[in-house]
Amino acid sequence: MAINRREFLSASAATLLAASTRSLVADDGIAAKPWYSTMQRCGHLNLNERDPLTLDAESWMDYFASLKTDTVLHNGGGIMAFYPTDVPFHHRSEFLGSRDLLGELMSASRKRGIRVVARMDANYAYEDALQAHPEWFERNADGSPRRHTECPWLYKTCMFSSYFTEQMPAIYREIGERYDPECFYTNGWPGTQALEVCHCENCQKIYREQTGGVPPPGTDPHSPIYRKYYDVSMDRIATVWRLWEDTARQKNPRSGYVGNLGGGIRTVKSVKRLSDLTDWFYADYQGRSGNAPIWLCAQQGRIARCAAPGRPAANAIGGYDTGNPGWRHTSKTREETTLWMAQATASGMAPCYHWLGGRPEDTRWRETGRSFFQWLAGNKDHFRNRNTIANLAVLYPQSTISFYGAGGATARKLNGEAIDPAEFLDGLYESLLAGRFVFDFVHQEDLDAERLNRYAALLISNAAYLRDSECKAIRAYVAAGGSLLATFETSRYNEWGEAREDFGLKDVFGVSAKGDVIGPEGNGYMRIEQPHPILEGYEGTAILPGPEFRVPVSGTGSGPLPLSVVPAYPAFPPEMVFPRTPRTNEPAGIFLERGSSRVVYFPGDIDRTFCRSGHPDFSRLLINSVRWLLNGRPLPVSVEGEGMLELFAWETEPGFALHILNYTNPRMNRPYVSRYYPVGPQRVQFQIPQGRRIMAVRALREGRALPFQQSEGVVRFEVPSVADYEVVALT
């Protein structure tokens, strides 16, 4: 049965009561910090069914203690119990016998002063549960239960069933009473991937009564049934989350629940709505595969900060191979794993080092984690972050990321493949790294004056789907003197992809849309018509490569046109390669100044085209645009030198910290990094608030003091070399 309204209100009220206890008072009368507020180093051993035969809990916890972990995740239950459960249909490990492996691990952890999170799995159950409770399970369109693809003896449970509102709470209560973990966490659920469509009788009833239709075939924001289904599903996640959190706190009000919010920038479920449910953010984003850049973990950290601002975050990091195909019992390279841990740390997350199975035959991963975690522990004060230091905001366009590739947009194909809406942001992101900028992500649902006014410029990479309220906030930001970069179809649709008559921000862009998107096109160009600072660095050419897609626009204001469209023409055969229309009045770039505000708008997908092509002319356009938008304002941090770096700057409890991640590597865009290519020296200028005096500058990885100078609020120093990662502490 689905939870009813009375149960929902009861669970919500109980959660509010529990929430009031989060700022607890210690024995000395001082408000006690919640345990997760000091979390910095986590470990996770994922048990398998045979582990009760041989696993040595004391030995494993000796290893995690050697990492100086403050928190570990242990298998609690759900899919499988590693303790003598009394909950019916809670499958015990076949090899458990008389052991209480969870109890042993709990005891061994606490003996070493390490907190414990119970790792749960609500996604699958066994056939005996299916026979006894068929209503617990998802169904295919033909009514058959949905089996696990690799383990067909497991069946997928339905979120709308009483498995989530009765069976899982029963397991939480049992574990809470017996072991009192600091928190519960569910592997996989709710996740940020696309919503699954279930055809069980309960879901059919929900669709009829709450959406007025039948289950949709898939993600399609143009379908009113899907939109209702999306909202019903998000509401159900919130209801279950609150119920589980309340259940977790029945034994101990300091405990709680956190779901899996990993997925990087490629999310469909609203990561903002999910994050609003949680006290701390946990992401299961363990590694990369395929043609993926190394900086994905840093992107995950930025998502955590923008979705759950001011709250702690942690990220699981696989010591094992996460490629495609993957080998779950062999180690990733030391270099790849270390850079992933470094990105988690630099972006403000606590790294959680993860291994599968209690008897590893490949132990190369062990020392990789130990050396990095021990270094973290030795410098722990410098990772107690207060605020980021950045004057650029990058919009995280959740609605576009979720739905732009669905429905009508799937008609836009390149080489037979639908558009990946994250490629727009990926292209801008890489350009910002190449330009050595420090920046923050801001979620589109947080576009208010309080959030935006700390930034000199807002950068928007094809936020095609924006609410009217979000357009209004952007307009107000620009009117108040903020500067803006936007590309392609930004603001052309509402949050569900319904087309507006024109751009929602046409008055800000200074252009009006004049038709449907043109493309994909190759061999189109942009002509440099007038000198402009954004067009510097292109000496020797009058044309630049053009984007694959563009919105045809006409200017609504006056002034010279600096960059115009040269329409595409044949690329083959060579005899036909010449422009049919070498010059037009169609803008390829709009560069506006209104008082202290500057606006750059590119009607083409120059960010995505850069992501796909790697052509540096597009990256230079984006870098030059950002520099022009800053209008002479100094960068909070300036780092000059060779190499591809990502920078994070923080105000910390002891002072300040500059994190430098070195991505200079032939395996930067494809796994795996297997050796480092040091870069240096890096010349740094770090802006310090007036009145603050820096007494020491120290390179923490190198373990040595750096000479420095301070004058007029600027600290200058040189980092001799960066192999993989350096953290410079200013105190």
Q: Per DSSP, which regions of 529-644 are E strands? A: 543-545, 553-555, 563-566, 587-594, 597-602, 637-640
Query: pLDDT tier at 13 (50, 70, 90 boundaries)?
Result: very low
DSSP state of 574: G
Contact assessment for residue 497 and residue 408, using Cβ atoms and an 8 Å cutoff: yes
Q: What is the pLDDT of residue 220?
A: 81
Q: What is the pLDDT of residue 5?
A: 35
CA 118 to chain CA mean position, Å? 23
Sign of CA dihedral 544, 546, 547, 553: positive
What SS3 class is residue 565?
strand
| Mean pLDDT, rounded, of the chain | 92
What SS3 class is residue 111?
helix
Mean pLDDT of 496-520: 95
CATH 3.40.50.880 fits 392-517+550-559+587-630, yes or no: yes
What SS3 class is residue 216?
coil
Query: pLDDT tier at 689 (50, 70, 90 boundaries)?
Result: very high
Contact assessment for residue 578 and residue 567, using Cβ atoms and an 8 Å cutoff: no
Q: What is the pLDDT of residue 24?
A: 39
For domain 637-730, give its CATH number from 3.40.50.300, 2.60.40.1180, 3.40.190.10, 2.30.110.10. 2.60.40.1180
Instruction: Map tokens 């959406």 to a residue.
Output: 211
Residues 6+ apart with CB under 8 A from 224: none
Quote the pTM value: 0.94
Beta bridge partner(s), residue 350: 314
- Read off the pLDDT of residues 311-350 as tens digits, 9 standing for 90 and up: 999 999 999 999 889 899 999 999 999 999 999 999 999 9
Residue 410 clears pLDDT 90, i.e. is over it? no
Spatial CA neighbour of 221 closest among 383, 56, 400: 400
- Read off the pLDDT of residues 551-589 as tens digits, 9 standing for 90 and up: 999 986 657 899 999 999 999 999 999 999 999 999 999
Q: What is the pLDDT of residue 12?
A: 38
CA pair distance 186, 163, nearest whole angstrom: 14
| Burial class for 152, CB neighbours closer than 10 Å (0-12, 13-18, 19+) | exposed
Contact assessment for residue 348 and residue 304, using Cβ atoms and an 8 Å cutoff: yes
Spatial CA neighbour of 565 closest among 578, 554, 576, 577: 554
Residues 6+ apart with CB under 8 A from 476: 449
Q: What is the pLDDT of residue 221?
A: 83
- Read off the pLDDT of residues 41-62 as tens digits, 9 standing for 90 and up: 999 999 999 999 999 999 999 9
Q: What is the pLDDT of residue 214?
A: 81
Q: Which amino acid would we find at residue 54?
A: T
Q: What is the pLDDT of residue 9?
A: 35
Domain ranges (residues) in the chain: 5-123+160-196+237-380, 392-517+550-559+587-630, 637-730
Residue 275 clears pLDDT 90, i.e. is over it? yes
Q: What percent of the chain has pLDDT over 90?
A: 87
- Read off the pLDDT of residues 156-165 as tens digits, 9 standing for 90 and up: 999 999 999 9
Class of domain 5-123+160-196+237-380: alpha beta
Contact assessment for residue 72 and residue 170, using Cβ atoms and an 8 Å cutoff: no
Residues 6+ apart with CB under 8 A from 686: 636, 637, 649, 656, 658, 714, 715, 716, 717, 730
CA pair distance 525, 571, nearest whole angstrom: 12
Mean pLDDT of 358-376: 97
Residue 10 clears pLDDT 60, i.e. is over it? no
Contact assessment for residue 454 and residue 389, using Cβ atoms and an 8 Å cutoff: no
CA 257 to chain CA mean position, Å? 20
CA pair distance 275, 597, nearest whole angstrom: 33
Q: Residue 607: how many CB atoms within 10 A of its CB?
A: 30
CA pair distance 615, 605, nearest whole angstrom: 13
Mean pLDDT of 354-378: 97
CA pair distance 526, 414, nearest whole angstrom: 21
- Read off the pLDDT of residues 218-259 as tens digits, 9 standing for 90 and up: 778 888 888 999 999 999 999 999 999 999 999 999 999 999
Mean pLDDT of 126-150: 96
Phi, psi of 170 (to 5 degrees): -60, -40
Take residue 552 and report the two structure tokens written for it. 């045809």
Residue 504 clears pLDDT 80, i.e. is over it? yes
